[in-house]
Every structure is written in structure tokens, then in C-alpha cells.
Amino acid sequence: MADSYALQKIKSLDPEKDHWEIARLSAFYEFPWDNNRALELALFRTFAVPTISAILDKTKQFENRTQKRYDDTDLILSEILENGPESERAKAAIAKMNFIHSHFKISADDYLYVLSTFVFEPERWINKYGYRKLTENELRAGFKIWQELGALMGIKNIPATKPELEEFNIEYERKNYIPAASNKSVAISTENLFLSWFLPKPLYGLGRPFLHAIMDEPLLVAVGFNKPHWLIQKSVDTSMALRRIVIGWLPKRTKPVLRTTIPRKETYPKGYQVKDLGSHKYK
């Protein structure tokens, strides 16, 4: 089967110079659904860390305004990736993100861990569930864009190489995945949001184990969730394997799927401005 338009271009570009373009082609043409699910899982993983979940739980944004919290995070990151860090919209999104974070006392290691999940969760998800494995150009570009964005966020001591960052990611989870009430509180609120997209509230209990089937055991333990029954695990694994095959045979996209163009009827029915994203307003 011939390479898609996006894949041909990805292979022709230089990840040292064209990493943002490679990342856009991969995320918006090749793997829009997979990339978004992976970033959701990346953020979910941070709930397993008490020093992070305690801050999130204290704001009550996840409990009381879960959809808005999701949309704000999605839109801020999408503005940066879609437009590139040199664009005015991306600069405004980065400034707003830094402004929001300035209200909280967050350790350097916690910042670096969150950044590392954005590098490795898309890679792990797509290589497991995507219609193909990521190319070397995509892997290199994925590391480089988040390395650059981390610097723009003022994150300290970002490793110079991907293996160093992955070693940090693995060791950090080993030391900091600790069960806590705040972990479970934020995780349940977020999981309820995911379930609300597909099920009425009385059926959340039926759907919950299927979400748990894409989570590893250390994550489940740290957020206080149970490992799903092996039949549910098997059904999810089989469904995702079949999806991978079907997507591989379908015609490939020639137009991007952009997150910023998705209607947000509940949170932004009349559209949004970057400066208004998040619960903290500029003075």
C-alpha cells in the first residue's frame, strides 16, 4: 500500500528543522483520534501523583467545571501545535498557560514529569494502537517540539536527549505514584466526563472498567481504580486491534483534523479568545 500524502511529506522533512511541521502532519492527518486519546491519557497519568493531584483537586475545577477544564487545556495546547510557537496565537496561548501556572507552587520535577508524558504517551499509544508505528522522523520531532515548549514554559533541567528524559519519566513514576484521596477525586471527575460523552449517568459503572482496560496497573493502583475483568480487557484489546486493521485499509486523510475548529457548545457556544481560556483572568 502506498504511503499517504502526510507520511510521504513526513519522510521528506528534517526533524531538526521541520519538527513542528512533522508533528502537525502526524497529529492532524495521520493520527488525530489516537493523538488526542494519548494526550488525554498523558494528563490522566499526572493524577497518580499526590503533589499534582492535590493542587488540581483544591481548585475544584475538575469537580465543578470538568468540561471547561478539559476544553481549556485542549485548546491551549492545540493553539500552540496548530500554529507553531512563533505565531501570535501560540505566543498568547503560552503566555496564558504560564500565567495560570504562576498561581500555583509546582516543583521542577512535577513540571518536567508532565512534559515527559506529552512526549512518551503519544508514542506508546500510537505504537500500540495506531494503524502503523511512528517513523524515526516523528519520534525525533515529538521529542523536540515538547523540549522547545518546555523551555518556553520555563521548565528547568530538561534533558538534552530523549533516553535521558525517558529514564526520568520511568523513575519519577516509580517514586511518585502513591495512592491518595486527591488522586482518586480528580481521576473520577475526569473519568465521569469521558463517560458522559457516550453514556447516561446511570450507566457510568458499566462503562468504567472499559476505560480502565487502557491503563497500566501502577496507574490504576495510584488512582484507586480496580483492574478490569480479563474478559473486558480482552474485548478492549481485540477491539483496538480490529480498529488498527480497519484504519490501515481506509483512505488516508488529505485535510487536517484541527481541534480548534471543533464546536464547544457547552463551554464556548460563541467561540473563544485565547486570553479568556482558563479560570484565571488577565488583570
Residues 6+ apart with CB under 8 A from 39: 77, 118, 121, 122
Residue 15 φ/ψ region, left for φ over 0, alpha for ψ in the -120 to 50 degree band, beta for the rest: alpha
CA angle 130, 66, 239 (to 5 degrees): 25
pLDDT value of residue 61: 74
Whether the CB-CB separation of 11 and 25 falls below 8 Å is answered with no
Instruction: List, for residues 47-93, the tens digit of each pLDDT value.
Output: 999 999 999 999 877 777 889 999 999 999 999 999 999 999 999 99
- Is pTM beyond 0.85 here? yes
Report helix, strand and coil shares of the chain as percent, to nearest 5.
70, 0, 30
Cell reading at 264: 464547544
Read off the pLDDT band of 103 (50, 70, 90): confident
Whether the CB-CB separation of 19 and 10 falls below 8 Å is answered with no
Strands (E) located in the chain: none
User: If you search the block for the grid coordinates 522522523, which residue do you land on?
Assistant: 137
Whether the CB-CB separation of 135 and 142 falls below 8 Å is answered with no
In the Cβ-directed half-sphere of 143, how many Cα atoms lie within 13 Å?
A: 17
Instruction: List, for residues 197-255, the tens digit of each pLDDT value.
Output: 999 999 999 999 999 999 999 999 999 999 999 999 999 999 999 999 999 999 999 99
d(CA 47, CA 59): 14
| DSSP H stretches of helix in the chain | 5-12, 19-25, 32-45, 50-59, 61-64, 66-83, 88-101, 108-129, 136-152, 162-176, 181-196, 204-212, 217-223, 230-249
Whether the CB-CB separation of 26 and 10 falls below 8 Å is answered with yes
Query: Mean pLDDT, to the nearest integer, of 160-164?
Result: 97
Burial (CB count <10 Å: 0-12, 13-18, 19+), residue 77: middle
